[in-house]
Structures are given as C-alpha cells and as structure tokens.
Amino acid sequence: MQARLRSTVAAAMLLAPLAFLAQPVQAQTRATVATPSITNMALNSDAGLSAGATLRAEVIATPNARRATLALGNSGVTMTLRQQTPGKYVGSYVVRRADRIDPTQLLTARVTFGERTYSRQFNYPTSFQALSMGAAPSSMAIERFVMRPMGRIEAGRELRFRLRGTPGADAWLDIPGVIRGVDLVEVRPGVYEGNYTVRRRDDVNAFSRAVATLRNGNQRATARVDLRGRDEDFGEAPATPRDERSPQITELTPANGERVGERGRTMISARLQDEGSGIDRDSVRLRINGRDAGPDLRVSEEDVRFRTDLEPGRYTAELSVRDRAGNSTTKSWTFDVAPGDRVGSGPLPLSVTSHRDNAVVDGNGNLSIQGRTAPNASVRIQVDSVANVAGLLGVSQPVADTTVQADRNGHFAVNISPRGLPIPGTRYDLRLTATSGSQSAEERLTLIQRQG
C-alpha cells in the first residue's frame, strides 16, 4: 500500500506542482492585537511523499518570531522555517527512504516569541489525503490566486484578480457576502484575470476571504486569495525598489524620563517617518501602561497624538507602527506626571470638547465647535470641506478661517455656517491652532455631514 501511495502521489505531483492551502482543523479563539497568531499554512511537493521528494512549506504568522517550525504529524519530521518576508515563514525538507509520513495525521505549526511558543494544527491538503486513500489524481490545479487592490480597499476602487493554473478551464471567483460568480477570463494559456469595483455597501473585510474556482467537466480546484499580490504577478516591473527599512519613531512627547505637570490633559505624541512605502496608519498602536489608546488616538502620515487625563504617577508608553511593506518598529519610554496644577510646566493644552474625530454632524451643514485651552489663549479655527458626490469627489474648498479668544477658564466656542447648499456626506477637515505667549498647540479632526 505504501509503495502504491508513493508512486501515485509522485505521478500527480510531477504533472502539476501545486501549493495547497490547508484549512485549520478547528476554529481558533479570537486573539487580541497584541497576541501572536498563526493565520495560514501551505504545503507542496515535487513528487508527493515518495523518497527523494522535496516538500516546501509556508506558514503565515505574526512577524519576527524567534523560531518557527512545522511538524509533520507523528513522523518525527520537523521542518525549520525562516522568515522570508515579514510574517511569511518558509522551509523545505527532502523525504528520506526511512520516513513514515502519514497525510491523515495533523500538521503542527509553531512560532516562538521570547520564551512563549504558540501553535496551530492543520490538516494535510486534501489532495494528499485523497491520494492516501487511493483516489485518482485530479488534473485541475491552481498555482497562484492573487489580488492587486491598487491602494486602500474603499468604495469606487477597482480590484484586479489574477489566477495561474490549468489552461483551458472555466474560472470564477466568489467574495463571501459581497458577490458570487465573477468571471475570470483566460487572457493567455493558464492565466485568468478579472476585475471588480468596490461598492459603498460592500464589507471591505470580505475581500480577504475571496475564493477562486477552476473547473473542467467534473474536475475542479479552489484556492483562497493571496492579498500580497506583487507587480510581478501581473506581468509588470516593480514600480519601486523593495522596501526593507523599518519606520522611524522620533521626537517623543513627553520625552523619556521627563516630568510633566499641567492644567488640563496630558499630550502624548511622536513623529513618524518612513522613506519607503509609507506609514500604514491602520497599524499604529499606542499603549499607556498596557492600555490601548483606542479611538481617541490621532494618526497622520507624519505624527501621532493622544491627549488624555492622567493621575500623578509614572507611566510607560509603547508605540508600534508598520509601513505598507510590513516592516515594523516599536518604541517604549517612560515619563512622570507630577501632582499639582501648574500652568506652563508642560505643552499648551488644546482639545475639542464638542466632537470626536470622524463624528457625524447635522445635515444642515452648520458647525458648532467648542473646546478648551489655556485661559485667554488665542485659537485659530480653519475649516476645509471635501465634497463626496459624483463629479466632486476629492475637491477641497475653504469654508472658514476665524480666530477667537478663550475665556478666563480656557473655554472657547465658534459657530460656522458653510456657504451654499449643504451636500450630504461632505467631509469637513478642521485645524485648530492655540497660542499663548511663546507656546502653541495644534489639533486636527474630521467631521462628516449626515447622509440624507
């Protein structure tokens, strides 16, 4: 039986080398952002499990593990994996004549961070399992299925899909909860392509679960999308050199070891720099004594800001950020908040108390902004509108530029009525600048006009 299995698998693999995506045996509990995780595993071979065959494995997990391995069931064979790109661990193994590898057992992927090891089990790819039971090999194969979003996935964005596999077949893709049966056209033998334009009501998280199907008669193959499509996958030269440099975090406020004490709220900020692919704003995380800053964290391509009330004491801030190529940086520092109510011992306070960032405002377009800063400080409020309807998308226009003075308690308010008819969905970008003596502070936020 073992000899028959080896010869059958070898014949199948020589005809169609293929990366198989194995699904996990059981659902995993949802991890927090800070907990390392193992997402997917792929296994392929040039000659099945026969002696001399080369097995190649790929494990997708949290980047920068100290060690990564893949154990092949109870065979005693463990493949050592190395990180090829951030979060992608690869390795290979040549099957020996004495090996007894059973594809009906479980594969166990493990990654080690510090002194802790995290593991996840997977089934062998279905083709390995089918052949172990004497099933005839399928001639259908998907070598690679990728998506190229051409930027952030958002309404109006055109997504490009490409599949490489067996030529002369029917191909389509399904996006769970969004759309089914998007045709993939064979543009040349074995290469299938298709496009999809994101609609406003689409769930952008569903695109990571897109599945392609390749069918010819009663034979078919399926594969889940790889979101890391490269220019080379689409027959194009890379637009820029490979980005292998991590982002930089500088100009920490408060500085490491600094003692601050101020009237109002403590400002924590840092400057972000990346000379390659640019900062991935969605990746930025700030934790104060282990607690996530949450939605009040303000992030741009150049800096990060967080204003909060802190009791007197010592605090540890940890800021982590990735660029769009997946390179990451984490920086930690400590500072002390002194007791008392001393004006001028820290940065000039400035906060908007009437709205949170990205808040939805009244559909009539009137803006009533209230905030707080130092007593009698001067506050300049600048407002730009960005229309969000067909034909006007992305057109920025100035709405207001006015200066007010805070009262003796530091409170200020201003009412702004945009000119013209209000357009539902308009975005208002606000920039507030406070000055008091030689000190200044800046705050930015975005407001969205209610639809309808």
Q: How far apart are CA 163 and CA 355, in angstroms?
A: 46
Among all chains, which residue has been given the structure tokens 């090891």?
117
**Is 2.60.40 the CATH classification of the domain at 2-132?**
yes
Q: How far apart are CA 165 and CA 186, in angstroms?
A: 10
Residue 241 near residue 277 (C-beta atoms within 8 A): no
Instruction: Identify the pLDDT of residue 22.
Output: 42
Number of H helices, E strands in the chain: 2, 33
**Is 2.60.40.2550 the CATH classification of the domain at 350-449?**
yes
Between 261 and 140, the more confident residue is 140
Task: Give the residue from 3, 20, 6, 7 showing the smallest Cα distance to 140.
Answer: 20
pLDDT tier at 88, thresholds 50, 70, 90: very high
What DSSP string describes 372-423?
Answer: EESTT-EEEEEEEEE--STTTTT-EEEEEEEEEE--TTSEEEEEE--SS---
Instruction: Identify the pLDDT of residue 231.
Output: 47
Helix (H, G, I), strand (E, B) or coil at 329: strand
Between 424 and 247, the more confident residue is 247
- In the sheet with 396-405, reading across from the earlier edge strand, the strands are 359-361, 439-449, 427-436, 378-386, 396-405
Q: Which distant-in-sequence residues (6+ apart) come within 8 Å of 19 by Cβ?
A: 42, 43, 44, 56, 58, 143, 144
Instruction: Identify the pLDDT of residue 38.
Output: 92
Give yes or no for a cis peptide into 254 (omega within 30° of 0). yes
Q: Which two tokens stand for residue 402?
A: 């006015």
Q: Which fold has domain 248-337?
A: Immunoglobulin-like (2.60.40)
pLDDT, mean of residues 132-161: 73
pLDDT, mean of residues 172-181: 92
What DSSP string describes 65-80?
Answer: -SEEEEEETTSS-EEE
Could you give the percent of the chain with pLDDT greater than 70?
77
Instruction: Identify the pLDDT of residue 129.
Output: 59
**Would you say residue 152 has pLDDT above 80?**
no
Max avg pLDDT among 37-51, 214-228, 232-246, 305-319: 305-319
**Would you say residue 36 has pLDDT above 60?**
yes
Same fold, 2-132 and 350-449: yes
Q: How far apart are CA 319 and CA 209, in angstroms?
A: 30
Residue 264 near residue 337 (C-beta atoms within 8 A): no
Residue 428 near residue 384 (C-beta atoms within 8 A): yes
Mean of pLDDT over the chain: 78
pLDDT tier at 81, thresholds 50, 70, 90: very high
- pTM confidence score: 0.30
Question: Which residue ranges make up each domain of the chain?
Answer: 2-132, 142-234, 248-337, 350-449
Instruction: Identify the pLDDT of residue 150.
Output: 59
Chain centre distance of CA 187: 31
344-370 residue pLDDT tens: 445 788 888 888 877 888 766 678 889
CATH class assigned to 142-234? mainly beta
Instruction: Identify the pLDDT of residue 240.
Output: 46
pLDDT tier at 62, thresholds 50, 70, 90: very high
DSSP H or E stretch at residue 223: strand 219-224
pLDDT tier at 408, thresholds 50, 70, 90: confident
**Would you say residue 144 has pLDDT above 50?**
yes
Instruction: Identify the pLDDT of residue 236.
Output: 47
